[in-house]
Structure 1
């Protein structure tokens, strides 16, 4: 069975009787057995007999929804009943939830068979998937390299054909960086479209969001519709019009703004800007007007606002573990200590900067239908390295400064499609970020579908 087929094709084949859920499950488990040992993307896999029995029961039952019979491994930051949720931390090594988080419940209700987990960095911190529970997830294009993160396991599972859809989450590029480094698509939806788990504070922290990953914008749309929609327990969750089926946009005359390296504010390794600019030629060939855009806002002000609000949010999540601080990795301790030391006015002032950047971005979107940035500043690095410490001689002053290019989008909660841009001289993938104003999710996916029709990069997969 060709497991690089689209999720849309697979669920259609099951619905029509051309394929059974049991056949797909057996092929999926065979694929995982063949390739996962080399990349370590799928973890906490349920036993084959139970999964096969669940698939057979699905075949005998009425059609349950748009994901009926589709195997999905869920990111290991999400609780799934009966499957360990470690968050990559020894603290939670033996934690087995009794109920599903909202996103897992929505996928299950849509007919997905939840088979296990995809690997993450500890607590999802840092765009490099390694942890002391399961180890590192390797890049399928070069197993000596990082897969990115925090949705690194999800991206690798897609790239190697172990799953057809994957969920991810994105605070600081956690859907976008691994998508770029593994030659797949990742979509950060407009903030509030996909509600988080309704626990703790649901008013203040507006940075991280859940979202879909896939090998095409059409498949992104399939999963996005399943996980989208309001949750009455959360004040910022919002109603959303379905995006599927995602059809290619009429791109003639669309205006695309190219932000590049923000006039040097984001140092880039050699070859990244060139490969992204080559991807922009695809948009020109489709009739778009592609123009360079001068830096619209001071990059350092955006960064300072970001690291304040991020540390505040991360510390709020880690605060219950303060007595176990020594068991946390260094980046988690750094975020925890910064957040706990902040004053309310520091947080307020950071949000004032965020508001100013939002107003400036809104004015830009009166001129442009979409803006484009590279999806990463470095190529996939040595899998044994915790994080890059410099780029082209420029020292990185934090564990995450090397991913600064994703922050202009994250800070504002804008929708953004990470799309493959091709391969560099060493054969490693790279990608671009295509983003627009809040609420432009459907338009971005349609633009991405037109681009995908011209490129089809994810179908050029690793030879594994």
Structure 2
């Protein structure tokens, strides 16, 4: 029974619980058993909700009593350990916050629970969520379930590994530059970073620089992403960026394939890409074309001289450094890799900071023009498949680049605030997942979901799972 449960998606689990085919207790127990069996190998889970089975029993009792239930009723979900959970440890990837237990849920968590979801566990992350690998002094390193010697990514790498390994059907992550989409690509699941502000950051830490931080759902299917997004989005009266009403939809959710125009690229001046990754993006473009979508390869000239990662690195240092210093004050001996690196990074001059901001504006303008002609853009998520742990540089297609290059294709959608989704569409020669990224205009998540659903329906790896 458990093996039949753990790789069902959240939408299917909710339907089977509501119909009585499964109970919430059966589902939660199956995931708890899977965590105990598998998590020692990958270290994705940092805290289990001790009340999960009790809450599952209450969910079953509510159904038996004929009560009206939400779209996630009785379904367990996991939460990145930077997102507050009422009564459950939220330790932010640092011994500085060891034992910290919030007395209130983050808004995103509260909305998932209001929809009937049950918090199953908290998942691993880097120190303060600031790294592309999920490793820290408090809860250690997360491994990729496809290859334990490879990274699951960061900063939502515990969440991605948990979902990929069948420890959870759906979860919540956060994204500053790469952090839901990169881990999703590394582990073969799906994730979306919605338009900035669509999901409130209330109850999520850190909040600097908040104009680039996003909350996003992570899951194994596109319909689960859409479900999670529909539950969590909308203003909350606290987050000043979360102001767009749910009635605003600039997308084309129900457009027929022949009415969609999708641009694609694998380079556009952003640096080297593994040939297997580039080939996967081309295959995805061809698959859309075969499905009657109008597909066209493009180049975005602005990206050749305004590199989004270089600009981001200059800009965010001056906000992160004081935040890191404040968070670690009095605990200097408990600093880990990222806080040490950030605090040792030279300050950015005012002139360079302003230049970076102006570069961001040019990139926004460039994409605004792209989206006058196209409904979505298809491109790599990451320039390479999942890499070995603790790499400081990569050799990609004959070029040596700094390890921060891993963020080059994702960070542009954080600094512009546009929605972007990661989903698997290929496999490397050594058996690792390869993802593609779909980006759309501001507030056009429905278009992104539409294109992603089309791709999912023809994906050669739709039902792939790690053998762990």
TM-score (ref. length: structure 2): 0.90
Which of 365, 368, 380 is the equivalent residue of 1:362? 368
Change (3 A) 1:134 1:386: farther
- Aligned residues of 1:247 and 1:449 also touching (Cα < 8 A): no
Change (3 A) 1:134 1:458: farther
Please give the alpha-carbon distance, in whole angstroms, between the structure 1 residues aligned to 2:106 and 2:195.
20
Farther off after superposition, 276-285 or 293-302: 293-302
Change (3 A) 1:446 1:90: same
Q: 1:23-422 counterparts in 2 under 5 A?
A: 23-47=26-50, 50-61=51-62, 62-197=67-202, 205-237=210-242, 238-241=244-247, 249-263=255-269, 265-299=270-304, 301=306, 302-315=308-321, 317-323=323-329, 324-336=331-343, 338=345, 341-342=347-348, 346-383=352-389, 385-392=390-397, 394-397=399-402, 400-422=404-426
Change (3 A) 1:32 1:198: closer
Query: Which consecutive unaligned segments of at least 5 residues does structure 1 have?
Result: none
Please give the alpha-carbon distance, in whole angstroms, between the structure 1 residues aligned to 2:257 and 2:129.
36
Q: For residue 365 of structure 2, give the secondary structure of its aligned residue in structure 1.
A: helix
Please give the alpha-carbon distance, in whole angstroms, between the structure 2 residues aligned to 1:199 and 1:213.
16
Change (3 A) 1:108 1:182: same
Change (3 A) 1:200 1:273: closer
Change (3 A) 1:249 1:30: farther
Change (3 A) 1:199 1:86: closer
Aligned-residue offset at 1:34: 2.0
**2:428 match:** 424
Change (3 A) 1:127 1:204: closer
Change (3 A) 1:95 1:371: same
Please give the alpha-carbon distance, in whole angstroms, between the structure 2 residues aligned to 1:274 and 1:456.
14
- Aligned residues of 1:207 and 1:310 also touching (Cα < 8 A): no
TM-score (ref. length: structure 1): 0.91
Size of the alignment, in residue pairs? 456
- Aligned residues of 2:263 and 2:296 also touching (Cα < 8 A): yes
- Aligned residues of 2:144 and 2:161 also touching (Cα < 8 A): yes
Farther off after superposition, 346-355 or 118-127: 346-355
Please give the alpha-carbon distance, in whole angstroms, between the structure 2 residues aligned to 1:126 and 1:240.
32
Change (3 A) 1:456 1:92: farther
Please give the alpha-carbon distance, in whole angstroms, between the structure 2 residues aligned to 1:200 and 1:73.
17
- Aligned residues of 1:255 and 1:289 also touching (Cα < 8 A): yes
Change (3 A) 1:454 1:242: farther
Change (3 A) 1:22 1:200: closer
Please give the alpha-carbon distance, in whole angstroms, between the structure 1 residues aligned to 2:368 and 2:18.
43
- Aligned residues of 1:198 and 1:233 also touching (Cα < 8 A): no
Change (3 A) 1:360 1:337: same
Please give the alpha-carbon distance, in whole angstroms, between the structure 2 residues aligned to 1:451 and 1:200.
34
- Aligned residues of 1:381 and 1:388 also touching (Cα < 8 A): no
Find runs of 4+ consecutive structure 1 residues off by over 6 angstroms. 198-204
Deviation per residue, 1:319-370 (Å, 9 max, x gap):
422523453223323334558x345554333222211211111011111111
Please give the alpha-carbon distance, in whole angstroms, between the structure 2 residues aligned to 1:349 and 1:145.
36
Please give the alpha-carbon distance, in whole angstroms, between the structure 1 residues aligned to 2:263 and 2:358.
25
Aligned-residue offset at 1:316: 5.0
Q: 1:449-460 counterparts in 2 under 5 A?
A: 449-455=453-459, 457-460=461-464
Please give the alpha-carbon distance, in whole angstroms, between the structure 2 residues aligned to 1:107 and 1:309.
34
Q: For residue 400 of structure 1, give the secondary structure of its aligned residue in structure 2.
A: helix
Aligned-residue offset at 1:295: 3.2
Please give the alpha-carbon distance, in whole angstroms, between the structure 2 residues aligned to 1:303 and 1:233.
30
Please give the alpha-carbon distance, in whole angstroms, between the structure 1 residues aligned to 2:433 and 2:207.
37
